[in-house]
């Protein structure tokens, strides 16, 4: 018997053509329980209702699943309380992941979740993304951010860390179209181009979301 969050995750996963094991659902329930507990003491997220945690945090994170391959190495920039990296890691444990945030308490929480869920091959780093450029230059085939910063700034920060042939995916909320249009010229100036935009709607009327796919422009 699952909790409210477990039931929502289980049902929403089926809509994504995913069948979750009891262990995976239990991991999401533990994640949510710890998020609520920690958030009462340290501010990690403004999203605190069970159904909103399940949909706005967990289900929204899983929207990336169809685009990640098992051989990918993923970087999550400005990951906050661990979204989307930790929900993705629960479902796709074989994928190597690094999660970065400049706020120490959020990384402390992520490390706590990684430890209690016994997640492997995922590292939570407390740092500004600029400081990682030397160690991780050209290391990641898949870099994402979720409502982290403007699209053009995301591209500028992520570019040195992206492997050849890699992809950037910016996760944005409502009204992302105007930002995409405004950023397109700056993205192009950085040597990148927006290759596609995927829009979707969260269940229970919880808003519109947009995935913006960005790649390096090919040399003429």
Instruction: Convert the pLDDT of each residue in 43-74 to its tens digit.
Output: 899 998 999 999 999 999 999 999 999 999 99
**Region of poorest pLDDT, from 23-37, 44-58, 177-191:** 177-191
- Residue 38's CB is within 10 A of a number of other CB atoms, namely 19
Average pLDDT, stretch 166-179?
84
CA distances from 167 to 58, 142, 196, 206 (A): 22, 5, 11, 27
pLDDT digits (tens, 9 = 90+) for 90-105: 999 999 999 999 999 9
Q: What is the pTM of this model?
A: 0.93
Tell me the C-alpha distance between 56 and 68, whole Å: 20
């Amino acid at each position: 018997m699952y909790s409210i969050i477990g039931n929502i995750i289980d049902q929403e996963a089926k809509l994504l053509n995913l069948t979750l094991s009891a262990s995976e659902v239990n991991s999401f329930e533990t994640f949510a329980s710890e998020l609520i507990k920690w958030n009462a003491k340290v501010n990690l997220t403004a999203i605190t209702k069970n159904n909103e945690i399940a949909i706005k945090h967990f289900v929204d994170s899983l929207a990336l699943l169809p685009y990640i391959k098992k051989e990918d190495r993923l970087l999550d920039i400005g990951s906050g309380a661990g979204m989307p990296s930790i929900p993705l890691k629960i479902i796709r444990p074989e994928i190597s992941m690094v999660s970065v945030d400049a706020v120490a308490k959020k990384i402390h929480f992520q490390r706590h979740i990684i430890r209690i869920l016994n997640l492997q091959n995922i590292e939570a780093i407390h740092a500004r993304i600029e400081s990682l450029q030397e160690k991780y230059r050209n290391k990641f085939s898949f870099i994402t951010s979720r409502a982290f910063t403007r699209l053009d700034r995301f591209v500028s920060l992520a570019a040195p860390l992206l492997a050849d042939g890699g992809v950037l995916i910016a996760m944005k909320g409502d009204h992302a179209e105007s930002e995409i249009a405004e950023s397109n010229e700056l993205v192009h100036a950085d040597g990148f181009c927006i290759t596609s935009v995927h829009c979707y709607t969260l269940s229970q009327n919880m808003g519109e979301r947009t995935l913006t796919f960005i790649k390096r422009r090919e040399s003429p």
